[in-house]
Amino acid sequence: MTGLLPIFILLTSLVPTAITFFLPQESYRLRNALNLGGAIAKVALIVTMLFSVAGGASYETDMALAPGLVLLLRIDALALLFVSLSASLWLLTTIYAIAYLGKKPEQSRFFGFFSLCVFATTGIALSGSLISFFIFFELLTLSTWPLVAHKQDAASLEAGRTYLLYALPCSTVLLVAIVWLESATGPILFTEPPDLSGIDPAGLRVIFALFIIGVGMKAAIVPLHGWLPSAMVAPAPVSALLHAVAVVKAGAFGVIRVVYDVFGVDRVAELGVGIPLAVMASVTIIWGSLRALQQTEIKKRLAYSTVSQVSYIILGAALASPFAVIGGLAHLVHQGLMKIVLFFCAGIYDERAGIRSIEGLNGLGRWMPWTSICFSLGALGMIGLPPIAGFVSKIYLGIGGLQAEAPWVLAVLGVSTLLNAAYFLPLVYRLWYCEAAPDVEVDENAPALVGPTVAAALAAVAAGLLAASEISPLGWATLIAERDYLQ
């Protein structure tokens, strides 16, 4: 029974996918019920597991493909961190998406691929072997394309093309890395550190670089980030999916797996590849912020902000000192919560007020108070204002930098915080302190859009306020770090 749990969790997204594709456009009720039901069932399953995994349990199920290809699904603490983030945000996004899409066309295709994306993300989280990770990683690549190109106009198709243009070469690089490594070690399972002695250090460094290119593209590491801002043409729920629930998270999660479970912290240090990775992450953090400053469209600015923020996770993973590990892992959740709030809000501004550019935000706080409060909370959290979640991540990363004897990390965090303030504060200022344009008349009477936004914002605040408790993202990250990586 317990061995089947990973499969049940996957089925909560796969069953809605399989049925939704065949539903006619008019079956709104059945489709919504299926997708919401799947999302709720998944959250429920995960909540029940949280307790047993906290007590030290893990669930496992495997299936042999051809020799060398082992499909292993495993629920451990790290898997659960990612899967509970993506599952709870999936639930919120589903509610939001149902309201956002209203009666727009092609909903069966949209929700079908949407659930497929979540299925793939769950698979990535639960993968216990390198090859199952790759299989789900690629499934995610493919199922995201129809969502990015969903509107089927020239701009969307172009964005979809850009996405594949980045994704497919990088996944080829990832495959080469996996094949190269596994040709020497046999199938790699995340539970047992592989014996890498068959490959010389120079070769291992190259393989590590190939791995980082392969998974780093999804995490939008500079210079592999170009697809993310251009994917902004997609509908708002898709942006939420790309930025918070699934895609960039899968990339960051991949980096964590590669550093900790494929190579191992010691080997990474021995090869001397951790610091270069940290430097890359730092460059991405600064570059993303600088580019965000130059954007005049809300969603574009948010997109570059993601480029910058996701690399905090990678920075933490690369530094590999105790506090950095914990901060990076916690930021996986924190960034997701805050970013989904911001994108939900951007979607509401667009949908309910037709506002996409930053100037349009002037004075909206009065007209759309709920949305604007959430947006402000998300933005302040991103800057790192206590007690919102982002603050906790930054503190931990900073201390982690000192522990790893890389004090320059403090400078990176400092500059980044200043830049964050520089590109987020003007938005908040405009919302509350600028005069609204005279013709603005909007209302935010859309509970199904605002509700999930408020819930996510509350979660982001709670993650910061309750950081000391065991069940907070930080508490869970500490548990993972103590259990698996810091013996």
Residue 70, beta-bridge partner list:
64
Q: Of the candidates 7, 40, 50, 168, which one interacts with another protein according to CB under 8 A?
A: 168
Candidates 42-50, 127-135, 323-331, 403-411; binding stretch for another protein (CB under 8 A): 127-135
Q: Which residues of 403-439 are buried (b: 16+ CB within 10 A; e: fewer)?
A: bbebeebeebbeebbebbbebbebbbebbbeeebeee
Residue 62, beta-bridge partner list:
72
SS3 category, 273: coil
Determine, following the binding rule CB under 8 A, whether residue 142 of this chain makes contact with another protein. yes
Determine, following the binding rule CB under 8 A, whether residue 157 of this chain makes contact with another protein. yes
Backbone phi, then psi, for 100, in 5-degree steps? -65, -40
> Measured between alpha carbons, how far is 136 from 131 in angstroms, rounded to an integer?
9
Candidates 34-42, 173-181, 339-347, 390-398; binding stretch for another protein (CB under 8 A): 173-181
Is there a contact between 415 and 383 (Cβ–Cβ < 8 Å)?
Answer: no
Q: Of the candidates 15, 18, 43, 69, which one interacts with another protein according to CB under 8 A?
A: 69
Q: Of the candidates 17, 144, 171, 420, which one interacts with another protein according to CB under 8 A?
A: 171
Residue 61, beta-bridge partner list:
73
Number of residues in contact with another protein under rule CB under 8 A:
36
Candidates 87-95, 133-141, 240-248, 459-467; binding stretch for another protein (CB under 8 A): 133-141
Determine, following the binding rule CB under 8 A, whether residue 139 of this chain makes contact with another protein. yes
Q: Which residues of 86-121 are buried (b: 16+ CB within 10 A; e: fewer)?
A: bbbbbbbbbbbbbbbbeeeeebbebbbbbbbbbbbb
Q: Which two tokens stand for residue 444?
A: 């935010």
Determine, following the binding rule CB under 8 A, whether residue 163 of this chain makes contact with another protein. no
Determine, following the binding rule CB under 8 A, whether residue 54 of this chain makes contact with another protein. no
Determine, following the binding rule CB under 8 A, whether residue 25 of this chain makes contact with another protein. no
Determine, following the binding rule CB under 8 A, whether residue 410 of this chain makes contact with another protein. no
CA distances from 99 to 32, 94, 156, 445 (A): 10, 9, 21, 12
Minimum distance from residue 187 beta carbon to another protein (Å): 9
Nearer to another protein, 160 or 216 (CB): 160
- Write out the DSSP string of 172-217: HHHHHHHHHHHHHH-S-BSSS----TTS-HHHHHHHHHHHHHHHHT
Determine, following the binding rule CB under 8 A, whether residue 172 of this chain makes contact with another protein. yes
- Give the contact letters, 87-106, x = binds to another protein (CB under 8 A), - = no: -------------------x
Determine, following the binding rule CB under 8 A, whether residue 135 of this chain makes contact with another protein. yes
Minimum distance from residue 224 beta carbon to another protein (Å): 16
Determine, following the binding rule CB under 8 A, whether residue 402 of this chain makes contact with another protein. no
Q: Which two tokens stand for residue 23?
A: 């539903």
Minimum distance from residue 418 beta carbon to another protein (Å): 41
Determine, following the binding rule CB under 8 A, whether residue 180 of this chain makes contact with another protein. yes
Minimum distance from residue 64 beta carbon to another protein (Å): 5
User: Which of 257, 280, 278, 279 has its CA nearest to residue 211?
Assistant: 257
Minimum distance from residue 152 beta carbon to another protein (Å): 4
Residues 6+ apart with CB under 8 A from 103: 28
CA distances from 296 to 51, 162, 222, 378 (A): 45, 21, 21, 19
Q: Of the candidates 24, 55, 66, 354, which one interacts with another protein according to CB under 8 A?
A: 66
Determine, following the binding rule CB under 8 A, whether residue 153 of this chain makes contact with another protein. yes
Nearer to another protein, 157 or 422 (CB): 157
Determine, following the binding rule CB under 8 A, whether residue 15 of this chain makes contact with another protein. no
Determine, following the binding rule CB under 8 A, whether residue 131 of this chain makes contact with another protein. yes
> Measured between alpha carbons, how far is 142 from 335 in angstroms, rounded to an integer?
24
Determine, following the binding rule CB under 8 A, whether residue 407 of this chain makes contact with another protein. no
- Contacting residues toward another protein, per CB under 8 A: 21, 64-69, 106, 109, 131, 134-135, 138-139, 141-142, 146, 149, 152-153, 157, 160-161, 164, 168-169, 171-172, 175-176, 179-180, 182-184, 186
